Amino acid sequence: MTLDMNKLISEVKGFAASITVDDSGSRGFHLDLRAEFTGLKDCARILLEHGFYLSFITAVHVRPAAEVMYKFAHYEIPYNIIIRVSAGEDMRVPSIIDIYQGAAWHEREMHDFFGITFDGHRNLKHLILSREEKGLNPLIKSEKSLKSHEEIFPPKGTA
Amino acid sequence: MEPIINIPVEILRPLLAAAVAIGFVFANATVMGYLERKLAGHFQRRLGPMEVGFHGILQMPVDGIKLIGKQLIAPDNVAGALYYLAPLIALAPVSLPFIVIPFSPGLQAIDMDIGLIFILAMISFNTIAVFLAGWSSNNNYSMIGAMRSVAQNISYEIPILLSLLAIALMTNSFSMRQIVESQRGYWFIMLQPLAFVIFFISALAETNRAPFDLPEAESELTAGFHTEYSGITFSLFMIAEYTYMFLNCSIATAVFLGGWKGIPLPFGEYTGCIWFFAKAYFLMFVIIWCRWTFPRVRFDQLMNFSWKYMIPFSLVNLCLTAIGVKLWQAIF
Amino acid sequence: MSQTAAKAIHYRYFLNLGPQHPSTHGVLRLVIGMYGEYVLSIEPVIGYGHRMHEKMAESKPWPMFLPNTARMDYASPLPHQHAYVSAIEKMTGIQAPERAEYLRVITSELSRISSHLLWLGAFLLDLGAFTPVLYSFDDREYILDILENLTGSRITHCYYRVGGVLYDVDGTFVGKVREFITRLHSRFSMYKKLVEGNIIFLKRVKDIGVLPLDMARRYGATGPVLRGSGIAYDIRKAAPYSMYPKLDFDIPTGETGDCLDRYVVRIKEMEQSLRIIEQALDKMPAGEVMAKVPKKLALPPGDISFSTEGARGEVTYYLVGDGSEVPYRLKVRSPCFSNLSLLQELCEGMLLADLIATMGSLDLVIPEIDR
């Protein structure tokens, strides 16, 4: 499957809040998207149509709200894409398991570690932690070590 | 000189035979257990038991003593008497066929007219014992093992019977002694190679040995039908398995490989048993060899193999034998 | 609902391929809904070996996480370590000397071969063949001895450092590795003969557990599991790192994606790894094995993701720094995690024996999934 980079970027532009292209891939990503709550599923759908696979879903706890990262890569073309979504104060993000079934386990893991709820995930029970540890959320940082978003991800002048 | 106790020979002889048979069952299990572990070791590039005794010879008696001393742990909801009865049913009928096996011309306890059928009937007790063990253990794994074993044993009884029936057609008798004696100058394996192969493979399946050891498939079912058995009850199953192996091998020896016939030895009436044991234990060695070489077949492939290949082939073999026997009688 | 489906639900029972089981490689629990011998549904329960490595990475300076990287995937630990040190090197702009990079490649490939040999024995053991595991472990002993002489441990090596590797190698190491290459080449024909000509083995693995490409994409399958389905995707060729651009090797693929294809792909990968090691030994220059690294190296703010090809698939370390020596967040993407999640959809309607064969062909190491 050949990848039409420009077509992909133009399709995704409608749903992503901001796009950064880095063809050298010096940070490990060639395309850096920031999506909103409403545009995430459409971005994922477009990526699946272009043949990307889901590498991982992870999250980082920053002030004010945790940030969820989705990394995609492609089997035929060396092109990595990261989508960042802010989980908001209520820690909710839409689930993409209708598009990428592999996301089911990644989202359960994030729910275990951070307490993030994924809307539309039909089976959001514990995966790696046990039932007794519900609510533990080990990767949520304490107030002392929590840093702000600007400290952790400096503005992209330096990308 | 008057004997102190007057025991008629007719009673003494069977008593002695029974004692020897039971003793032989346990002696065979000891030897076979040791052979299996040593051979498994050498097939796998290691040495097997070496510590206990010279090259591990005393390993099996010591293991037996250990197993007798173990606590019998039974789960809570086992079906009472059936759980403890199953190993006994496995072991009890196993010494009976020894009275009809012709070890040598002078060493056969009783020569029944239906000796062959008697042995086969006793061997088929294995099925009910395995099923009882699996069912009464109240464990899903054991139940699967029991179901598999019942289906497998039923399917592979038929090729055994059909292949032996071909021999019975040729010798016109079921008596073990007559079958051995009618192999003058040649062995039946030369006339009936297909029947021998079918019988041997079906015997592997009957005794639940690899590559047909699904009822106790270790990597799928933990331990299959004997998961919940510990200590002496487990070892009773193992003794029964080795004895059934020996019985099947001795049928094969008597029927296909000429039994006690071989190069004549002094005291031929009794020393014929040396040839018999040599042939039977060679077949046991081949069975052990098969176990440590082949992977396991899948269950539906096992059933396919029996019903679609073994039974038709053995039926064809039977027909050809019948035609051959008739032609032989017509010509000569 | 059709009549058979209704009957299946009515007679369904649950079999617990429990945490302790001879053929789940590690502590994995599968709750299987079964109808007779057929698998209706499975639910993997993981987390029995969870040690929270990602939290450990946030609570101590980054050099102290190096031993952890070896303990996640203990069968082939060095690609994990390679990803971790390369991520930090890329983030801080440090370049390891060429000799160190070649040593990293050689030891990673030895680790890969050792993992595949372990998998070979365990897979055949699942199928019921008790003997080949002893033979493959014999070959693996040579690799473990070589790596023990070099790094000090048999499986949990802690050999790579940011800026290079810890120890240099001498002629004994090179001699032993070359000897091992010759020996393993001569053993491949034995493995082929012992196993692939066996009709019982072929009937257990041919056309079993066919993984369609579309399913692999939706679940993120990588590694030999994906390459068995026909896609030649290997991080060493797709996004080359370290010295792989200078080395010449092929990516073996299968055709249909059944268990036999995955088996053949791994055997051929071992041959290609031997080829890589030979070239690396020939091309390795003399020189230092450690670059100049400041005593306290802080991770600049920002994130970076670095992928390497482990024995099981794509190993990615996603590292977020905050300007201090302690990482702010470390995410370890383990290939078996994605590979196991596709088992739920793949195995509906299989026989139990086929499920065991398929799970064996996925090459799972549960501590890597649980982290």
Distance CA C269, CA C258 (A): 17
Distance CA C331, CA C320 (A): 9
C337:A153 CB<8 A: no
Distance CA A57, CA B3 (A): 94
CB within 8 Å of B56: residues ≥ 6 apart: B34, B37, B38, B48, B49, B50
Q: B205 near B156, Cβ under 8 Å?
A: yes
Query: In sequence order, what DSSP letters do the residues of C63-81 get, joined into one string?
Result: GGGHHHHHHHSSSS-HHHH
Touching pair B, A by Cβ (3+ pairs < 8 Å): no
- The stretches of chain C forming alpha helices (DSSP H) are 3-10, 53-58, 66-72, 78-92, 98-127, 132-151, 171-191, 199-205, 213-219, 224-227, 235-238, 259-283, 335-341, 343-346, 352-361, 366-370
Distance CA B200, CA B203 (A): 5
- Beta bridge partners of residue C45, listed in sequence order: C29
Torsion of CA C318, C323, C327, C329, to 10 degrees: -50
Rg (CA), chain A: 16
Distance CA C177, CA C107 (A): 10
Does the residue A150 lie in any domain? no
Q: Which of A53, A56, A139 sits opposite C55 (nearest CB)?
A: A139
Distance CA C264, CA C254 (A): 8
First to last CA, chain C: 41
Any idea which of A38-42, A155-159, C102-106 has the lowest mean pLDDT? A155-159
pLDDT tens-place string over residues B285-327: 999 998 888 888 888 888 999 999 999 999 999 999 999 999 9
Q: What is the pLDDT of residue B145?
A: 78
Closest CA to B79 of B169, B167, B142: B142
Q: C42 near C30, Cβ under 8 Å?
A: yes
Before A64, cis peptide (omega within 30)? yes
A53:C304 CB<8 A: no
Torsion of CA C29, C32, C37, C39, to 10 degrees: -120
Burial of C48 (0-12, 13-18, 19+ CB in 10 A): middle
Please tell me what DSSP assigns to residue B213: -
Torsion of CA C95, C96, C99, C104, to 10 degrees: -130
Distance CA B263, CA B259 (A): 12
C110 — phi, psi (to 5°)? Answer: -65, -40
CA C171 distance to own-chain centroid: 29
Q: In terms of CA atoms, which chain B residue is nearest residue C126?
A: B219
A48:C218 CB<8 A: yes
C47:A56 CB<8 A: no
Burial of C189 (0-12, 13-18, 19+ CB in 10 A): exposed
**In this model, does residue C275 exceed pLDDT 90?**
yes
Does the residue A49 lie in any domain? yes
Name all contacts of B178-184 with Cβ < 8 Å and 24+ positions apart: B179/B116, B179/B254, B179/B255, B179/B259, B180/B102, B180/B254, B180/B258, B180/B259, B180/B260, B180/B261, B183/B258, B183/B259, B183/B261
- Beta bridge partners of residue A154, listed in sequence order: none
pLDDT tens-place string over residues C175-199: 999 999 999 999 988 888 877 778 8
**Residue B218: pLDDT band with limits 50, 70, 90:** low
Q: What is the pLDDT of residue A159?
A: 40
Residue tagged 């429990």 (tokens): C18
**3-class DSSP state for residue B231?**
coil
Looking at the structure of chain A, the number of domains it has is 1
Please tell me the pTM assigned to this model: 0.89
Q: B136 near B77, Cβ under 8 Å?
A: no
Mean pLDDT (whole number) for C315-324: 90
* Strand order across the beta sheet in which C29-35 lies: C13-17, C29-35, C38-45
Q: What is the pLDDT of residue B135?
A: 85
Distance CA B148, CA C276 (A): 48
Between residues A117 and A159, the one the model is more confident about: A117
Q: What is the pLDDT of residue B217?
A: 61
Q: C116 near C79, Cβ under 8 Å?
A: no
CB within 8 Å of A24: residues ≥ 6 apart: none
CATH number at residue A128: 3.30.460.80
Q: C200 near C124, Cβ under 8 Å?
A: no
**In this model, does residue C242 exceed pLDDT 90?**
no
Q: If residue A73 lies in a helix (H) or strand (E), which one and from where to where?
A: strand A67-74
Q: B64 near B30, Cβ under 8 Å?
A: yes
Scored b (16 or more CB within 10 A) or e, A38-54 reads ebbbbbbbbbbebbbbb
Distance CA A126, CA A110 (A): 10
Q: In terms of CA atoms, which chain B residue is nearest residue C14?
A: B140
**Residue C65: pLDDT band with limits 50, 70, 90:** very high
The chain-wide mean pLDDT, for chain C, equals 89
Q: What is the pLDDT of residue B60?
A: 87
Question: What is the interface pTM, i.e. ipTM, of the complex?
Answer: 0.90
CB within 8 Å of C253: residues ≥ 6 apart: C227, C228, C230, C231, C232, C265
CB within 8 Å of C65: residues ≥ 6 apart: C53, C56, C57, C84, C327, C330
Does the residue A68 lie in any domain? yes
Q: What is the pLDDT of residue C116?
A: 94
Distance CA A43, CA C7 (A): 42
Any idea which of A70-74, A154-158, B255-259, C280-284 has the lowest mean pLDDT? A154-158
Residues of C in contact with B213 (CB under 8 A): 128
**3-class DSSP state for residue B154?**
helix
CB within 8 Å of A19: residues ≥ 6 apart: A9, A12, A13, A31, A32, A33, A34
C54:A139 CB<8 A: yes
Reading the block at residue B23, the tokens are 């003793």
Alpha-carbon distance values, C100 to A20, A26, B223, C164 (Å): 34, 21, 49, 5
Q: What is the pLDDT of residue C297?
A: 87
Reading the block at residue C259, the tokens are 């268990």
Closest CA to C331 of C16, C38, C87: C87
Tell me what percent of the residues of chain B surpass a pLDDT of 90: 26
**In this model, does residue A113 exceed pLDDT 80?**
yes
State which of A16-30, B114-128, B217-231 shows the largest mean pLDDT: B114-128
Q: What is the pLDDT of residue A158?
A: 45
**Residue B281: pLDDT band with limits 50, 70, 90:** very high
State which of B182-191, B248-257, C1-10 shows the largest mean pLDDT: B248-257
Mean pLDDT (whole number) for B53-74: 85
Q: What is the pLDDT of residue A156?
A: 61
Residues of C in contact with B292 (CB under 8 A): 130-131
Domain ranges of chain C: 3-370
Distance CA A84, CA A67 (A): 7
**In this model, does residue C3 exceed pLDDT 80?**
no
Judged by CB atoms within 8 Å, which residues 99-158 of A form the interface with C?
99-102, 104-106, 113, 126-130, 138-139, 141, 147, 151-154, 158
B297:C134 CB<8 A: no
Query: Which chains touch A (3+ CB pairs under 8 A)?
Result: C
Mean pLDDT (whole number) for C56-68: 91
Burial of B73 (0-12, 13-18, 19+ CB in 10 A): exposed
Mean pLDDT (whole number) for C235-241: 88
C231:A76 CB<8 A: yes
Q: In terms of CA atoms, which chain C residue is nearest residue A155?
A: C302
Reading the block at residue C22, the tokens are 């001879």
Mean pLDDT (whole number) for A149-158: 70
Domain region containing A104: 5-140
**In this model, does residue B111 exceed pLDDT 90?**
no
Any chain C CB within 8 A of the CB of A88? no
Distance CA C285, CA C281 (A): 9
Closest CA to C221 of C328, C119, C361: C361
Any chain C CB within 8 A of the CB of B132? no
Q: What is the pLDDT of residue C23?
A: 61
Q: Which CATH superfamily is domain C3-370 in?
A: Cytochrome-c3 Hydrogenase, chain B (1.10.645.10)
Distance CA C101, CA C284 (A): 9
Q: If residue A70 lies in a helix (H) or strand (E), which one and from where to where?
A: strand A67-74
Touching pair B, C by Cβ (3+ pairs < 8 Å): yes
Mean pLDDT (whole number) for A23-27: 75
Alpha-carbon distance values, B248 to A14, B157, B164, B165, C69 (Å): 77, 12, 12, 15, 55
Torsion over CA: B142, B143, B149, B152 (sign)? negative
Mean pLDDT (whole number) for A44-72: 89
Judged by CB atoms within 8 Å, which residues 63-122 of B form the interface with C?
none
**Residue C142: pLDDT band with limits 50, 70, 90:** very high
* Interface with chain A: mutation pick from C326, C329, C340, C362, highest number of A CBs within 10 Å: C329
Alpha-carbon distance values, C315 to B119, C73, C338 (Å): 61, 10, 11
The chain-wide mean pLDDT, for chain A, equals 84
Q: In terms of CA atoms, which chain B residue is nearest residue C13?
A: B140
Half-sphere exposure of C121 (CA within 13 A, CB side): 17
Scored b (16 or more CB within 10 A) or e, C143-176 reads beebbeebbeeebebbbbbbbbbbebbeeebeeb
B299:C138 CB<8 A: no
* Residue C66 neighbours by CB distance under 10 Å: 17
**3-class DSSP state for residue A60?**
strand
